[in-house]
Each structure stands twice: as C-alpha cells, then as structure tokens.
Amino acid sequence: PVGLAEVGIVLKRLNAMAATVPREAPWLAPRASLWEGQTFESWMRRNVRTGVARDILRLAIIGVWAAEPRDLSLLHVLFYIRSAGSIELLTDTEGGAQQDRVVGGTQLISMRMAEQLGDGVIELENPVRRIEWASDGVVAVGDRVSVRAAKAIVAVPPTLAGRIAYAPALPAGRDALTQRMTQGSVIKCMAVYERPFWRERGLSGSVTSVSGPVSVGFDNSPPDGTPGVLLGFLEGRAAREAMDLDREERRGIVAGCFARLFGPEAADPVGYVDKAWAADEWSRGCYGGFMPPGAWSDSGAALRAPIGPIHWAGAETASIWNGYMDGAVRSGREAAEAILTQAGNPVT
C-alpha cells in the first residue's frame, strides 16, 4: 500500500513537471538543462523511495517506450507526457492510449487511404535510397523509379531517414539527430490456444509483470472467442536479450511465462508467432524514437526544421501525441500545410 500510494504521488509530480515543458521546443523548458542532464533511472533513484513504486514506474517506461529507464533522458519523458496530456493517458487501458484495437489491424487505415488515392499514385517495393536536393527541387531515387518534385516530405523515423543518402549531405545538426534518436526494442508475441481457458477461471488475460520476461500482456482473442490468443511483449532489455534466440526458443520462454501467470495450460500453445521489430529493415525498432540525455538540447531544433526543399514528418516529429498515429497524422498535415503556404496556396 505504501508503494502504491507513492506511485500516485510521483505521477502527479511528473504531470506537474511535464506541464512546464513547451511541446514545440522541449529544450526551452525552465529546467531543461537539469532534466536533460539525467536519465529517468537516475531521477527515479533519487526521488522514488519504495521498491514497489520503482518497479511500477519501470514497467510504465518500458511499456510506453520499449526502452529502459536508463536509456531515456528525464526531459524526453516529460516532453512525451506533455505531448499526450498526462502520464495516465499514455498508460491507461480504459480512456487512454492503450484502450483500443482496430478490427482487421491498423494497416487497414493505410490501405483505405491508398484506395482513395487510386491506382498509379503509390509506388510499392520501391524504397528511396538517395535524395538529391537543391534550392529548386528534389529527386528521390528509388530502386525502380525516381521522382522529381519541387518539395519532398520524408515521413519516416529519424533513424531510418538517416539511412537515406543525401546529395549534398545534410547539415551536421540533422545528421547528429538521426544518429542519436534511437528506436525502442520490442518483440510482439502471440501464443494461440484452442480456447481462452483463462476466462473460465475468471481471468482477464491482461497482465503486467515485474519479473518478466513478458512485461505486458493482453487477451487478444478474436471477438467470437475462438481461438484463444494471449498477446505479450518482450520490451527493452528483455527484447534485446531474446533477439539473438530463434523463434522456438522464444516460444518456450514466452509460453513458460504465460504458464506461470495463467496456469499450466498456457505452457503448450497450439501456435505461436512473434515479430522482432528491431530486426525489421523498415522500422529498426518500436514503438518510436526517443532522446537520450543531451540530445534535445544539442539536436532538438533539427527535428522539424526543413532543409531546403526537404520537410520532415512522422510520429517522432509531432508536438501533440508524439510517437502515436494521431501525432503522425498531425505532423503530416502540418508539413503539407507548410509546403502549400510556401507555394502561395495556404490551407483555410
């Protein structure tokens, strides 16, 4: 009880600190230099007294960023809270960012948007390898097709934007940003069972575990309840350690964890799939990019600033709901509106 009470106190304190961080320029916060010079881990060790509270806060950090508290600057955590509105909105499964899932998968959003654009507009399987730019336009060079345009919006995480070759080279500040703003580490795991047996015992299938290796889990069974699916996440250090294992080894680790949490029936799933996002060529990690100590002050101004005809967008550039689809949409609109305004066609 003492630990849980302290969690409530710490969350209020973090929300109050976050309220002083400018969403558009976190490095200009009144105490930015102090908060930028420490990790969340070091702040937590000095300001959180009980082990229970530290364990819960660590779970919150790895559940939101798929990174360890030692990886993130305190300023970045506070900016992220500010961009969402509160730490509760980031973590809650009722009324918060973890509440909903899209029937058919969130990829349907992109697929429906592509349908509205029509055929021949989107080039698939044609990754941009090089961007040649000058004051009068850009050429995006892909594997099969190259495109010439007056402007370009690069809407991928900074770590991926940095893997594109630019001619001429980008300014040092932007290049440093792409090297310092790294992605989280997560393996998304699903164990499949003939039925959701945990429901028969009155269990929800939702879990948070300080002992791991699965840190967060949910009942991911389809609406009709068949088959039963337990979804779990290996995040942060647990994901990095499991990355070198093969899938069968990960299956054993995850099923063993579920058996400890939900009973022996969970030890032998009829199916298992997982996705190691850090190994994916086009994401290099999840759930999004984050700043280590010093990065906001040194490179933050380069995150959104256009370079010649090149504009930047994506979840990492959002000032509201940074790191989320909501923020990605907002940042895309802002980049498009900036280009239209420059062209003399402001959005009204």
Q: Which phi and psi (to 5°) does residue 240 adopt? A: -65, -40
Specify if 296 maps to a domain: yes
What is the count of structural domains for the chain? 3
Residue 277, in any domain of the structure: no
Per-residue confidence band for 314, with pLDDT thresholds at 50, 70 and 90: very high
Is the C-alpha dihedral spanning 156, 159, 163, 169 positive or negative?
positive
| Residue 251 and residue 208 in one domain | yes
Instruction: Give the whole-number percent of the chain exceeding pLDDT 70.
Output: 100
Query: How many other CB atoms are there within 10 angstroms of residue 195's CB atom?
Result: 13
Residues 81 and 13 in one domain: yes
Judge whether 273 lies within some domain. Answer: no
Mean pLDDT of the chain: 94
User: Can you give the CATH number for the domain in which 222 is found?
Assistant: 3.90.660.10
Residues 178 and 194 in one domain: no
18 with 87, same domain: the answer is: yes
Quick one: 86 and 115 in the same domain? no
In the prediction, which pLDDT does 192 show? 98
Higher pLDDT, 61 or 102: 61
In a domain, 234, yes or no: yes
Helices 2-18 and 51-65 cross at an angle (nearest 10°) of 50
Residues 152 and 169 in one domain: yes
Chain segment 272-300, per-residue pLDDT in tens? 999 999 999 999 999 999 999 999 999 99
Of 268, 300, 322, the one marking the end of a domain is: 268
Q: Is residue 56 part of a domain?
A: yes
Evaluate whether residue 332 is within a structural domain. yes
- d(C-alpha 66, C-alpha 200), whole Å: 31
Q: What is the CATH number of the domain that holds 32?
A: 1.10.405.10
CA atoms within 13 A on the CB side of 282: 7
Mutual orientation of helices 40-47 and 51-65 as an angle, nearest 10°? 160
The verdict on 112 and 240 lying in the same domain is no
User: Which has more confidence, 120 or 61?
Assistant: 61
Q: What is the pLDDT of residues 72-121, one digit of tens each?
A: 999 999 999 999 999 999 988 788 888 888 888 888 988 998 999 998 88
Q: Are 211 and 69 within one domain?
A: no
Residues 114 and 168 reside in one and the same domain:
yes
Residue 290 three-state SS: strand
Shared domain check, 293 and 264: no
Mean pLDDT of 39-49: 97
Tell which residue, 189, 186, 159, 207, has the closest CA to residue 315: 159
Q: What is the mean pLDDT of residues 306-322?
A: 97
Give the pLDDT score at 348: 67
Q: Is residue 256 part of a domain?
A: yes
Domain harbouring 138, CATH code: 3.50.50.60
Q: Does one domain contain both 163 and 196? A: no
Alpha-carbon distance 280 to 282, whole Å? 6
- What's the token pair of residue 156? 């991928």
Q: Is the same domain home to 317 and 294?
A: yes
- Asked whether residue 276 is domain-assigned, the answer is no
pLDDT for the residue 225: 86
Domain residue limits at 258: 190-268
